[in-house]
Amino acid sequence: MQRGFLRIMALVAISISAVRAQAGPEERPKFDVVSVKPNKSGESALRFDIQPGGRLVAVNMPLKQFIRAAYTLQLYQIADVPGWVDSERFDISAVTERNLAAPTVWTPGKFAPVQLMMQSVLADRFKMAAHMERRDAPTYSLVLRSRDASKLVPGEGACPPNCGMKIAPGSLSAHNVPLAQFAELLSQQTGRLVTDATGLTGGFDFEVHWTPDSVQPSTADAPALFTALQEQLGLKLEPSRGPVDMLVVEHIESPTPD
């Protein structure tokens, strides 16, 4: 699932262009044709593609993942959904005459045309109604394990463009990456909002290797994520609480397949 998750974020980020503000329901663009079918294959792999010619294809996708991509959220930011939104999977195919392959800046709270069309799919086919709300929730603070930060090597040049991360299940290699950006990635891995509280500025070069939660500890050849951060980077995740922006789902229905 982690590999599929990274694929979703990468493909959407590459394939959409940002707009300045969220459109209301009456202003949201829509796909010309949409097909929604339940996927009962039982497979774990999923696929999400934005293809040339204005076609979006989601295969074996939990609806919660589709909501997250449509609203630029993490899974922990989606609240008050019934259990089937997590467990049931769908094949969604949609076509538009619009060009969906434009460059993007992935900015929370600002939606690209393809995201607005995905929101229309949720409203039209799943009868979803939702609103944003700030709630107090468990979070993590990324801090230095000690004052010695020598395990983080300062990067060179400005970020962007001279920076980036290579991510695979259980490993990450970063070049000239600010710790605030790293904290965003840790939010995805931990299921909680992570804020950078190290006080360190600039970008850093580093690698970290850990055992994903899906791997049995008895077969693991790397430590858990929290331990890996301390041992390999000299960083620590401290539990905390704070306000988190949440998409609160007021109503949602299982669709009629076509």
Tell me the pLDDT tens digit for each residue of 167-179: 988 999 999 999 9
Pairing of strands 164-168, 129-144: unpaired
Q: How many CB atoms lie within 10 A of CB 103?
A: 10
What pLDDT is recorded for position 221?
A: 78
What pLDDT is recorded for position 144?
A: 93
Answer yes or no: is pLDDT of 65 > 80: yes
For 79-88, 146-155, 173-182, which range has the lowest pLDDT when averaged over its residues? 146-155
Tokens of 129: 């109604």
* Residue bearing tokens 């999977």: 89
Which of 104, 126, 148 is a domain's end point? 126
Q: Is residue 253 domain-resident?
A: no
At 216, is the pLDDT very low, low, confident or very high (cuts 50, 70, 90)?
low
The boundaries of the domain holding residue 237 are 136-243
Tokens of 248: 């609160």
Distance of CA 92 to the CA centre of its chain: 19
Taking the C-alpha atoms of residue 88 and residue 4, their distance in angstroms, rounded to an integer, is 16
**227 within 8 A of 118, measured Cβ to Cβ:** no
149's CB contacts (< 8 A; 6+ apart) are 198, 200, 234
Residue 236's DSSP bridge partners are 143
Q: What is the residue-averaged pLDDT of the chain?
A: 85
At 1, is the pLDDT very low, low, confident or very high (cuts 50, 70, 90)?
very low
Same domain membership, residue 145 and residue 64: no
How many domains in the chain? 2
What pLDDT is recorded for position 43?
A: 93
Q: Is residue 255 domain-resident?
A: no
- Quick one: average pLDDT of 209-226? 78
What pLDDT is recorded for position 98?
A: 82
pTM: 0.74
Q: Is residue 254 domain-resident?
A: no
Tens of pLDDT along 107-153? 556 788 889 999 999 999 999 999 999 999 999 999 998 866 568 89
> How crowded is the C-beta side of 26, counted as CA atoms within 13 Å?
0
Report which residue type is found at 166: K
